[in-house]
Structure 1
Amino acid sequence: MSELPFYLAAFVVVLGVLIVVHEYGHYAAARWVGVKVLRFSVGFGRVIWQRRLGRDQTEWAISVFPLGGYVKMLDEREGEVAAAEQHRAFNRQSVGARSLIVAAGPLANFALAILLYWVVFIYGSEELLPVLGTPPADTPAAMAGVKNGEQVRRVDGEEVATWNDLRWLVLQKAVNQELAALEVINEQGEISVRHLHLAAAGDQGWEGDALERLGLRFYRAHFPAVIGKLVEGGPAARSGLLVGDWIRAVDGEEIANWQDFVLKVREAPGRRLHVLVERNDDLLAVDVESEPISERGRTIGKIGVAVAESAESRRELKTHVSYGPVEAAAKAVAETWDKSVFSLVMLGKMLTGEVSWKNLSGPVTIADYAGQSAKLGLDYYLKFMALVSISLGVLNLLPIPVLDGGHLMYHMIEVVRRRPLSERAMEISQQVGVSILFVLMAFAFFNDLNRLFSS
């Protein structure tokens, strides 16, 4: 609960920036083509703060419902317009000018994403190296022969520098193909190719971590099985285990390292484990009952302990990634394009049933991710903001009436028919659009609640 204000603040900043940028895109385009802007509002509903500025005395406002915003322009369809200003009305503009104004909002979101990625790529970030851990039995990674400590160099010939690169490439490829070739190098410098079957990535409708379902886990060095931290009130703490205890055996089987211990606990949800520990040169027997936890569709065991690992070992698994201004710009554009295309592909697969609607996220999940990314650091937070900005841009370009994409669809119809749709047709289509948006929002909100209570 103490983190709630921080998470809310992180969410409000993301939401505020994206709304302002989106609406400013509409505003700037309208001013550029000569349309008079009456109001620029962050939020909907009753205005709670306003100030008039500029030659046109545009009303800059904050409204009571913050999930969105709007730019109100001079328009003869919404009220009488003086003859001297009719040339500045939105409805008097050419189809091209109106389309530019409508498209400028989503385009501003894409431009913001490019800018944010560019800043992150120049600033640089600490990234995990793509080093693999021992995969669980019977997973695609285990069947492909993946071994602990192997570092991925390429996926289907594309270079992999970080763990995020690996996640993104595997996710992209799993959407469209069944097999991927992972070129890996082991700790002895030997290069191998692991042929990974990707179908399991989408076994649960793409909800959750696709890498986990494939058995691609981050490397855990072979640390001694020494307890470095206990969860207060957890099963291990209740049983009498202490920080510094060295786990020697579980249920009579020798434990060689921390990873052996973790696998043993995970595979025994709800079971009583007979643990042999070394403490102050003495061997002690301790019974610990593992707690069953649901993790990505299956039940595992946990006892509330963490390994005593060194800062040096963590540094060896990280790399600092940064680029020069020109290379960063090219990479930022590519990143924005790839994420936009992927969003459209996933939306298409939702419509065909290949991807679960559980992937839709609402404000609660976005607020959670905003807070988590902010805690990880500025680079993670800016990348999260860029991703949400892309999602907002893509969503607004969908041909759904009441969205920007719906208005662009009207303009295309107007070009083909050489006259606009009738007001009655637009009214009906907008009612349909509102219904579609309501259903999508209901799905997203339901998913938020489901994630909240299941966690």
Structure 2
Amino acid sequence: MFFTLIAFAVALGLLITFHELGHYWVARRCGVRVLRFSVGFGRVLLRRTDKQGTEWALSAIPLGGYVKMQDDPPEHASDAQRSESFNCKPVGQRFAIVAAGPVANLLLAALLYAGLNMVGTQEPAALLAAPAAGTPAALAGVQAGDRILAVDGAPVQSWGEARWALLDRVASGGQVELQVQTRQGIDRTRVITFPRADMSDETRDPLAQGGLSLVAPAVKVGQVVAGGAGEAAGLREGDLILRVGTVTDPDPNSFVQTIQAHAGQTLPLVVARQGAELSLFVQPRSEPGPDGVAVGRIGVMLGADFPMVSVSYGPIDSLWRGVVRTLDTAWFSLKMMGRMVTGDVSVRNISGPVTIADYAGQSARVGLAAYIGFLALISVSIGVLNLLPIPMLDGGHLMYYVAEIIRGKPVPDAWLEQGQRVGLALLAGLMGIAFFNDFVRLLS
């Protein structure tokens, strides 16, 4: 729990502080006086004032930060003091200052994605499992062991890249052309026509609905319990299970089911060890299961062995891919929001701080690359959310500035007051849904 809270605090603090730095940087370029830039909220722990008069503060609650500008000139202000006030700036400059926060989040996401592309990551290869009968993939001729080489002509190196390239098309429906390599090493083209995916249930994977899923991992022996049936059979850590009983190439589920169903019986095993195949025999020991019925156990911890590939790109290509990935993610998020409004996508997909904190902890435990990918995704989400034309958000202010440009004068105060009420109600409703979804996920 403590690790999860730390990962969440670091993520939120970093992303919101970067958002506020965007506002600060453009405000300074436009000549606006910045009174304070605080990292964190609450009681100030450390402070320093720079030569421009900005107080830089480190506060006690590390969940973001804020920038405080001189909005209106002080009483009896000089012309110079008036020129340093935000509300005295031309509408174009005010627009740029407000837009800079969300843009900073999108820029940060692009840089994080670019960094991952340049450093390189280990990802599962794009090897497909056998599609379920009747699914679009099955009808198009996709077979178990097909390896995706390209999606609509764009090369992909891993399952993660293939999944991202397919997700939007599968969710929205349409035709996709896959270049694949079969198990026999023959290149083939599979043209799949996807209907619009059912997104009303957030637990359903739209790719799996279309018949596309990653091949099940091979069973790898982890820790072998001393004195157990696995040790007696000669199993060692790192062995790959090639066959158990009559089941060839078992996945973890089928391996466990076979062992459990043969308590007290001798089962033949074929394993791969250091490049050689070995034949062993194991006799699962009968032990009571969760429901009291005896099941077989052999006393080994199982792992998964995915075929992995190293994914990396050069600096220019990495930066370009980072920008494209950020824009694609932002556009996909907007489309999913639109489908929520129309009822095509369940509002149960909205996540609150509890779920986000859980994902932060999980990704940090997986490794640095997964955590950086999580940061990039949340940074895009913060940028997109703040650009929505909802009063109380940056996008709401931008909406007022657009109206001011069209009208040639600021919007009336009555509009602002009414907008604040509407915006507050919308944000309260969204937060209520998010917390409710978090609560339901915790209970389930």
Which residues of 2 match residues 10-25 of structure 1 at below 5 A?
10-25=7-22
| Deviation of 1:123 (Å) | 0.9
- What 5-or-longer segments of structure 2 have no aligned partner? 236-240, 270-279, 292-297
Report whether the alignment pairs 1:258 with 2:250. Answer: yes
Q: Which moved more, 1:317-326 or 1:87-96?
A: 317-326
1:172–1:289 CA distance, 2 compared to 1 (3 A): farther
Check the 8 A contact 1:362/1:448 in 2, yes or no.
yes
1:52 and 1:136 map into 2 onto residues whose CA distance is 63
Secondary structure at 1:76 match in 2: coil
Q: Which moved more, 1:58-67 or 1:377-386?
A: 58-67
Which residues of 2 match residues 116-195 of structure 1 at below 5 A?
116-137=112-133, 139-195=135-191
Check the 8 A contact 2:33/2:84 in 1, yes or no.
yes
Q: Which moved more, 1:416-425 or 1:81-90?
A: 81-90
1:195-228 superposed Cα distances (whole Å, 9 cap, x missing partner): 445347435445453333334332246x5x7865
1:114 and 1:171 map into 2 onto residues whose CA distance is 19
Of 383, 387, 393, the residue aligned with 1:393 is 383
| Deviation of 1:241 (Å) | 7.0
Check the 8 A contact 1:200/1:214 in 2, yes or no.
no
The alignment yields a C-alpha RMSD, in angstroms, of 3.5
Report whether the alignment pairs 1:420 with 2:410. Answer: yes
1:66–1:403 CA distance, 2 compared to 1 (3 A): farther
1:23–1:423 CA distance, 2 compared to 1 (3 A): same
Report whether the alignment pairs 1:115 with 2:111. Answer: yes
Of 21, 26, 29, the residue aligned with 2:23 is 26
Q: Which amino acid aligns with 2:384?
A: V
Which residues of 2 match residues 34-53 of structure 1 at below 5 A?
34-44=31-41, 46-53=42-49
Q: Which amino acid aligns with 2:323?
A: V
1:323 and 1:102 map into 2 onto residues whose CA distance is 34
| Deviation of 1:194 (Å) | 3.5
Check the 8 A contact 1:53/1:60 in 2, yes or no.
yes
1:181 and 1:227 map into 2 onto residues whose CA distance is 38
| Deviation of 1:230 (Å) | 8.7
1:377 and 1:265 map into 2 onto residues whose CA distance is 28
Residue matched to 2:77: 82
1:140–1:450 CA distance, 2 compared to 1 (3 A): farther
Q: Which amino acid aligns with 1:262?
A: N
Residue matched to 2:267: 278
Secondary structure at 2:145 match in 1: coil
1:423 and 1:389 map into 2 onto residues whose CA distance is 32
Secondary structure at 1:96 match in 2: helix
1:323 and 1:150 map into 2 onto residues whose CA distance is 24
1:275-307 superposed Cα distances (whole Å, 9 cap, x missing partner): 654289767577789879xxxxxxxxxx99865
Give the fraction of aligned pairs with identical amino acids, expressed as a percent. 43
1:411 and 1:319 map into 2 onto residues whose CA distance is 49
Check the 8 A contact 2:8/2:356 in 1, yes or no.
yes
Check the 8 A contact 2:17/2:66 in 1, yes or no.
no
1:203–1:354 CA distance, 2 compared to 1 (3 A): closer
1:325 and 1:248 map into 2 onto residues whose CA distance is 47
> How high is the TM-score relative to the length of structure 2?
0.82
1:285–1:408 CA distance, 2 compared to 1 (3 A): closer
1:325–1:81 CA distance, 2 compared to 1 (3 A): farther
1:37–1:438 CA distance, 2 compared to 1 (3 A): same
Check the 8 A contact 1:411/1:420 in 2, yes or no.
yes
Check the 8 A contact 2:144/2:215 in 1, yes or no.
yes
2:221 and 2:368 map into 1 onto residues whose CA distance is 31
> How high is the TM-score relative to the length of structure 1?
0.80
Q: Which amino acid aligns with 1:25?
A: G
1:181–1:132 CA distance, 2 compared to 1 (3 A): same
Of 339, 351, 361, the residue aligned with 2:341 is 351
1:183–1:168 CA distance, 2 compared to 1 (3 A): same
1:281-335 superposed Cα distances (whole Å, 9 cap, x missing partner): 767577789879xxxxxxxxxx9986566xxx64xx2121211211212111111
1:194 and 1:378 map into 2 onto residues whose CA distance is 35
1:429–1:64 CA distance, 2 compared to 1 (3 A): farther
Secondary structure at 1:47 match in 2: strand
1:159 and 1:282 map into 2 onto residues whose CA distance is 44
1:420–1:196 CA distance, 2 compared to 1 (3 A): same
Residue matched to 1:202: 198
Check the 8 A contact 1:273/1:290 in 2, yes or no.
no
1:305 and 1:158 map into 2 onto residues whose CA distance is 42
1:8-50 superposed Cα distances (whole Å, 9 cap, x missing partner): 2222111111111100111111111111111223445x43435
Of 421, 424, 442, the residue aligned with 1:431 is 421
Of 430, 441, 444, the residue aligned with 1:440 is 430
2:167 and 2:374 map into 1 onto residues whose CA distance is 17
2:15 and 2:134 map into 1 onto residues whose CA distance is 43
Secondary structure at 1:153 match in 2: strand
Residue matched to 1:300: none
1:66–1:399 CA distance, 2 compared to 1 (3 A): farther
Check the 8 A contact 2:230/2:299 in 1, yes or no.
no
Check the 8 A contact 2:22/2:103 in 1, yes or no.
yes
Residue matched to 1:295: none
